[in-house]
Amino acid sequence: MKLLRLITSFKGNESLSFQLGNAIVEKIKTQHPEIDSTTRNLTKNEMPHLNELHFNSFMTPTQDLTAELKDAVSYSDEALKELLPADIVVIDVPMYNLSIPSSLKAWIDHIVRAGITFRYSEEGIEGLLKDKKVFLAIASGGIFSEGPLKEFDLTEKYLRNVLGFIGITDITVFRVEGTAMPQFKDEALPKALESVAAYSL
Ligand SMILES: Cc1cc2nc3c(=O)[nH]c(=O)nc-3n(C[C@H](O)[C@H](O)[C@H](O)COP(=O)(O)O)c2cc1C
């Protein structure tokens, strides 16, 4: 079995999404001690914003790639080399401005590729990554899993939609939330870690 971990907070060890992601990975390792894991820190090993060259490289058959297009497609190919064999993907998601970090969006723009992660068929669009399980470790200053801010959360909603688009529908979400709220902040991480401990894989 293979696991891919994506780190997307620039806060290093202080990051709450990172600490929650670590707990998820440790839990998975208790069930699958033999699991082979790869980690990509998208804040250190960044994917470039998708540009015209990248997109043209996706649309060009391999045998026709120029040196420039080969270079352009290398980011996507490298990310797919990590994603395609992974059975489980754990993604740390700090909420930035109600949404996901742009480093994660850039990664998504490089892995959503026609013919590789989805295809157009007679029935419409078909996601091709059907057998993967994803865990999201979402950290936010406010509380978004319930209450008045729920509808403003574009982290879980967007990730469920875009991952579903490429065929990944087995998605489990853990949250460390309310860390900017005095009445919730001290309990936020312990509560999130407890939810991981209580989860049966
Ligand atoms: C640039 C930036 C934007 C943020 N935007 C939001 C937001 O829209 N809503 C929210 O609840 N918290 C927001 N926060 C707070 C973070 O979500 C919170 O600090 C979280 O713990 C960050 O994850 P990390 O600890 O893994 O870095 C923001 C923090 C930063 C640095």
CA-based radius of gyration for the chain: 18
State which amino acid sits at residue 104: L
User: How many whole angstroms separate alpha carbon 200 and alpha carbon 41?
Assistant: 27
pLDDT per residue over 88-105, tens digit each?
999 999 999 999 999 999
pLDDT value of residue 15:
98
The yes-or-no verdict on residue 197 having pLDDT over 90 is yes
8 lines ligand 1 (CB under 6 A): no
Residue 55 backbone zone (phi > 0: left; psi -120 to 50: alpha; other: beta): alpha
pLDDT value of residue 109:
98
Residue 140 among known ligand-binding residues: no
Count of residues making up the chain: 201
User: How many whole angstroms separate alpha carbon 23 and alpha carbon 201?
Assistant: 13
Residue 178 backbone zone (phi > 0: left; psi -120 to 50: alpha; other: beta): left
pLDDT value of residue 72:
98
- CA-based nearest residue to 129, from 101, 92, 88, 91: 88
pLDDT per residue over 149-164, tens digit each?
999 999 999 999 999 9
pLDDT value of residue 36:
98
pLDDT per residue over 110-143, tens digit each?
999 999 999 998 989 999 999 999 999 999 999 9
pLDDT value of residue 186:
96
166 lines ligand 1 (CB under 6 A): no
Mean pLDDT over each residue of the chain, to the nearest integer? 97
Which three-class secondary structure string do you get for the chain?
CEEEEEECCCCHHHCHHHHHHHHHHHHHHHHCCCCEEEEEECCCCCCCCCCHHHHHHHHCCHHHCCHHHHHHHHHHHHHHHHHCCCCEEEEEEECECCECCHHHHHHHHHHCCECCCEEEECCEEEECCCCCEEEEEEEECCCCCCCCCHHHCCHHHHHHHHHHHCCCCEEEEEEEECCCCCCCHHHHHHHHHHHHHHCCC
22 lines ligand 1 (CB under 6 A): no
6: β partners: 40, 91
* Residue nearest to ligand 1 atom 31, measured at CA: 96
Band (201; pLDDT cuts 50, 70, 90): confident
CB atoms within 10 A of CB 78: 14
Q: Domain spanning 2-198 has what CATH number?
A: 3.40.50.360
127 lines ligand 1 (CB under 6 A): no
pLDDT per residue over 17-60, tens digit each?
999 999 999 999 999 999 999 999 999 999 999 999 999 999 99
Q: Which atom of ligand 1 is least distant from the CA of 95?
A: 17
